[in-house]
A and B are shown apart, each in its own frame.
Chain A
C-alpha cells in the first residue's frame, strides 16, 4: 500500500485517474444501492403478497372481524377519495397555473404566490390531516366523510398539479400564442383554443404523479375520511369509507390478530403498490413517449 501511494505521487497523472476511478465507483455504488432498495422492496412485497391475491380478495368485503375475506370496500374507498381529490385539485391547479404562466407579470405578488405554493407543498401530511379535521370535519361540519377526505387530499396535491401544469404551459411555444393573437383572437380564446389543448397531455401526465400520491396517503385521511371498518358501502359523499393505506395500517398495528392476518396485509400492500406504481409508471411512459415525439 505504502509503495503504491508513493508510486502514485511520483506519477501524478496516474494518481489523479486513480482518484477518479474510486470516485466513479462510489457514485455508481450509490446509484446501485438506490435501485436495489426499490427492487428489493418491490420483490419482497410481490413474493409475499401474490399468494393472497385472488378474485375473491379483490371483490369481497372483509369477514370475521377483518381476519378473513377481501378488501373490496377499501379499494372502492380509495377510488372514491382519489377521484374526489382530482375533482378538486385538477381544476384549481390548472387555473392557478394559467394565471401564473399566461397572465402574471414578474413582481412581488407573483413571488408571494410562488412562495405560498412551495410552502403548501412542504406542509407535512399529518398537518393536512389536522387541517382537514379542524376545518372540513369540525368547522364546516362535513363530518368524517368522503367529502372531507377528498378536499384534504385535493389541497395536498394542488402544488404538484400547479407545478406540472406550469411546466406544460411553458412548453407550448410562444409562436403559437403570437400567431393566434396576430389573427385578432382575444387572449382568453388563445389560451382556451390554442394553449390549453396543446398543453393538456403534459398537464395530465404531470398530474398523474400527484394522483398516485393522493391514492397512497394515509395520514391526511386518518381523521377526515377513513373508517376502521364499515359494514356497508358508502351511499353518499357524507359517509365514511375504508381506504387501502389506512386498512394496511390498521391491520399491521391494531388488528385483532396481527400475525394471523399477515397474508391479508401483504396482499393489501401489493394491491396498493400495484395501483399507485402503475399509475406512476403510465405517467412516466407517456411522458417519455411524448418527449420523443414532440411535434414542435
Chain B
C-alpha cells in the first residue's frame, strides 16, 4: 500500500467518525418513531395534539397532550422572561464593564452554575423554594408554575449569558472607538452600537436557552406539581411534556398504548427543540458578523 492510499484511507475513516452525530440523530428519530408511531393507529394526530384530556390509565384511556404542551410553553416563556434580562445584562457586565479579576470570577461562577446537575436544582426547588412560596403567598402547594420557572431560569442563564458574551465580544473594536470618538458615553455605546451589532448572537443565545428549558426534565418533574390541566394562574401546577415522560414511563406496561403515547410525546419534544435549534443556527449564520465590512 502506498503512502498516498494509506493517507486517503485514514481521511475516510475520520470522515466516517465525523458522521456519527448525524447517525445518532437518525437513530434517535428511528427509535422514537418505532416505539411511538403505533399510537396514531389508536388516536388521530389531531386528537393527540389538541385533546384536552390526558388520562392514560383510565378505562377507556384518553391521550390528549394539549395541557402538557401548554404546561411546557408556560414554564418556558416565564423562565425566559426571568432569564433573558439577567443573562444578557450579566453578559454585558462581563464583556464591557467588569474589571479583569471580577470578570474571571464571574465567568467561573456561570460555568459552575451550568454544571449544577438538574436533579440538584429540582431538589432545591422542592425543599427550599416550594415551602417558601407556600408560606409567603398562602398557597395549597408551592410546587407550581412560578417555582418551576424560577429554577428553569437558573438553568437557562448560563447558556444565555455565555453565548451572549461571545456575541458581544465579537463586535469589532472599531465600532466602539468610532462611537466614543463621536462623544457617546459608554452607556450609549453599549445600547446603541454594541448590542445592535451583537443582536443576532444574542437572539441565538436566547433561543438555545429556550430550547434547553423546554427539554429540561428533572426540574419540571420535581417542582412543577404534575397537574395535567390548563392552569388558571402562575400559582397552579402544570405537567410539562418531559415531566410526563419521566414520571410515567416506569409504570407504563411495555408497548401498551400509554407507553407508545409517551414516546409520541418524545417525538413532539424532539421536533420542537430541533426547530428551535435550526432557527438558532439559521439566525446565527444568516446574520453573522463577518469583520466590520458587512454593516
Contacts of B121 in A (CB 8 A): 41
Separation in Å of the A103 CB from the closest CB of chain B?
5
Cβ-defined contact, A130 with B31, below 8 A:
yes
In chain B, what residue has the closest Cβ to A103? B11
- Given A122-B277, A158-B20: A248 and B120 interface contact (C-beta under 8 Å): yes
- The residue on A at minimum CB distance from B218 is A218
A interface bracket (residues with beta carbon within 8 Å of B): 35 or more
- The verdict on B196 contacting chain A, using a C-beta distance below 8 Å, is no
Q: Does A217 contact B (CB under 8 A)?
A: yes
User: Could you give, for residues 106-143 of chain A, a 1 whenever the CB lies within 8 Å of some chain B CB and a 0 otherwise?
Assistant: 00000011011111111111111111011100110000
B182 in contact (CB, < 8 A):
no
Question: Chain B residues near A230 (CB, 8 Å)?
Answer: none
* B117 in contact with A217 (CB, 8 Å): yes
| Bound form: Cα–Cα A27–B194 in Å | 15
Stretch at the interface among A2-10, A31-39, A50-58, A59-67: A31-39
**In the complex the two chains form, is B6's CB within 8 Å of A188's CB?**
yes
With both chains docked as a complex, state the minimum distance between the C-beta of B196 and any C-beta of chain A, in angstroms. 16
Among A44, A131, A209, residue most surrounded by chain B Cβ atoms (within 10 Å): A131
On whether the beta carbons of B277 and A186 are closer than 8 Å, the reply is no
> With A41-B121, A219-B217, A222-B249 given, is the CB distance from A19 to B187 under 8 Å?
yes
In the bound complex, residues from chain A placing their C-beta under 8 Å from that of B185 are 16-17, 19-20
Give CA–CA (A127, B271) in the complex, Å.
10
The residue from B24, B32, B110 contacting A155, defined by CB atoms under 8 A apart: B24
Determine whether the beta carbon of A249 is less than 8 Å from that of B222: yes
Determine whether the beta carbon of A31 is less than 8 Å from that of B22. Answer: no
Q: Does B3 touch A at the CB level, under 8 Å?
A: yes
8 A Cβ contacts from A262-294 to B = 262, 265, 269, 272-273, 276-277, 279-281, 284, 288
B123 touching A123 by the CB < 8 A rule?
Answer: no
Q: Which residue of A lies closest to B96 (CB)?
A: A27
Closest Cβ neighbor of A16 among chain B residues: B185
A-contact bits for B230-269, CB 8 A (1 contact / 0 none): 0000000000001001100110000000000011001001
B273 pairs with A123, CB closer than 8 A: yes
Q: Does residue A238 face the partner (Cβ distance < 8 Å to B)?
A: no
Interface presence of B81 (CB below 8 A): no
Q: Is A84 an interface residue (CB 8 A)?
A: no
> Is B35 in contact with A138, judged by CB distance below 8 angstroms?
yes
Given contacts A31-B94, A34-B90, A219-B242, contact A212 B222 (CB under 8 A): no
**Chain B residue total in the interface (Cβ 8 A):** 90
Q: Is the CB of B7 within 8 A of A186?
A: yes
Within 8 A of A (CB), among B62-120: 85-87, 89-90, 92-94, 97-98, 104, 106, 108-113, 115-120
- Whole-angstrom CA separation of A276 from B111 in the bound complex: 12
Contact between A284 and B108, CB atoms less than 8 A apart: yes
- Whether A135 touches B30, Cβ cut-off 8 Å, given contacts A124-B217, A209-B115, is yes
Interface string of B46-60 (1 = CB under 8 A from A): 000000000000000
Q: Is the CB of A127 within 8 A of B269?
A: yes
Interface string of B116-154 (1 = CB under 8 A from A): 111111111011100000000000000000000000001
Q: Which residues of B contact A212 (CB under 8 A)?
A: 115
CA distance A34 to B89 in the complex (A): 11
B31 touches A131 (CB 8 A): yes
A80 adjacent to chain B (CB < 8 Å): no
* Residue of chain A at shortest CB distance from B247: A253
Q: A34-B86, A96-B20 are in contact. Are A253 and B222 (CB under 8 A)?
A: yes
Provide the bound-state CA to CA distance between A139 and B273, in Å.
25
Are A135 and B246 closer than 8 Å at their CB atoms? no
Complex CA gap A208/B124 in Å reads 25
Ordered by A's residue number, 25 sampled pairs between the chains whose C-beta atoms are within 8 Å are A19-B185, A30-B87, A31-B89, A38-B109, A38-B113, A41-B116, A41-B154, A44-B124, A96-B17, A99-B17, A102-B14, A113-B22, A115-B281, A122-B274, A123-B270, A127-B269, A133-B31, A133-B249, A134-B31, A187-B7, A248-B119, A249-B122, A272-B119, A277-B112, A281-B112
* Known A29-B89, A31-B94; 10 more pairs at CB < 8 Å: A17-B185, A20-B186, A30-B93, A41-B120, A41-B121, A41-B154, A98-B14, A118-B281, A120-B21, A253-B126
B residues contacting A by CB (< 8 A) are: 3, 6-7, 10-11, 13-15, 17-22, 24-25, 27-28, 30-32, 34-35, 85-87, 89-90, 92-94, 97-98, 104, 106, 108-113, 115-124, 126-128, 154, 157, 161, 185-188, 190-191, 208, 211-212, 214-218, 221-222, 242, 245-246, 249-250, 262-263, 266, 269-270, 273-274, 276-278, 280-281
